[in-house]
Amino acid sequence: MIRRTGYHVAMSIVSFLWVAPILWVIVISFRSFDDVAANGLGSLPHSFTLSTYKSAWEDADEFRALINSLLVTIPAVLLSLGLASIAAYGLARYSIPFRRTILLLMLMGNLLPPQILLIPISRFVELIGYYDTLIALIAVHVGFGLGFYTFVLHGFMRDLPREIQEAATIDGAGPGRIYSSVILPLTRPALAALGALSFTWIFNDLLWSITVIRSGEKMPVTPALLGLQGLFVSSWNVIAAGTVIAAVPTVAVFLRFQKHFVGGLAIGAVK
């Protein structure tokens, strides 16, 4: 009894300490500039304002940055999962020559440190005239993510029973038909998990954005958030508000797909 109480007390403290930074930043984001200046960032709040959010949203144009992020993230997630799922289907359900080599090559591509790709890719998108466009960013995310998604989906599709596919073949369905109406629906849990994960990965990206995007009005929200520091030098309450805004979409996806999200992290690793 005492041991159980001790456990819960200790874990509650740890949990509280863990989320405290987030709560504290939310509190700061609602404090007025005068309050912060007078009492310091470390003090308890003496004021409540929404003007910080207005500054971040309008003056710093986080609204546009959020739109940019979604314009990149949504197509990139859909395209990479679509492409990865057809590749995984072919590799898992048909004996393509060298299929294991292809699968491993694809996975290896994803495990490469992105640093080795930065310079050639920035040159390449310049060469084809797509430097400083959101399309380039989408293409980079699709290319770089494909290997891992294919690997995970392949593992999932491979374990689906053969009989289903054979029954569909006997009914006269071709490979395309089997993919779209038999395999894909059965793969939905894995797709949901990877979708939730890749959404946060692509949405949270910094490195690729600052490599292929130059102009401020095309920046996704993660690099734009860094720019906020230059705009609101030491107005930490506005920066806090900007930080909260930038975190909202991934938190929303996480809350909506919580189970898939956590499961996704685990399939990536324990597979």
Partner 1 sequence: MTATAVESRSRTGSGSASRSRRRGVSPLILAFVLVPFVIEAIWVFWPALQGFWLALTSWDGLSAPRFIGFGNFGDMVSDPIFRTALKNTAIWLVLFGGLSVIGGFGMALLLQRERRGVGIYRAALFTPVVFSLVVTALIWRVFYQPDGLVDTVFRTVGLGNFVRPWLADPDTALYAVIVPALWRQIGYVMVLYLAGLKAVDPALYEAAKVDGASAWQRTRYVTIPQLKGVNSVVLSVIVIDSLRSFDIVWSMTKGGPYHSSELLSTYMYSTAFQSTQLGYASALAVVIFVLALAVILGYLIRAFREES
* 14 is an interface residue for partner 1 by CB under 8 A: yes
* 164 is an interface residue for partner 1 by CB under 8 A: no
* 250 is an interface residue for partner 1 by CB under 8 A: yes
Convert residues 191-230 into a mask of x (bound to partner 1 by CB under 8 A) and - (unbound): ---------x--xxxxx--xx----------xx-xx--x-
| Shortest separation between residue 221's beta carbon and partner 1, angstroms | 9
* Of residues 95 and 185, the one with the C-beta less far from partner 1: 95
* Of residues 71 and 117, the one with the C-beta less far from partner 1: 117
Convert residues 19-58 into a mask of x (bound to partner 1 by CB under 8 A) and - (unbound): x-xx-xx--x-----------xxxx---------------
Convert residues 117-156 into a mask of x (bound to partner 1 by CB under 8 A) and - (unbound): xxxxxxxx--------------xx-xxx-xx--xx---x-
Give the C-alpha separation, 32 to 47, whole Å: 6
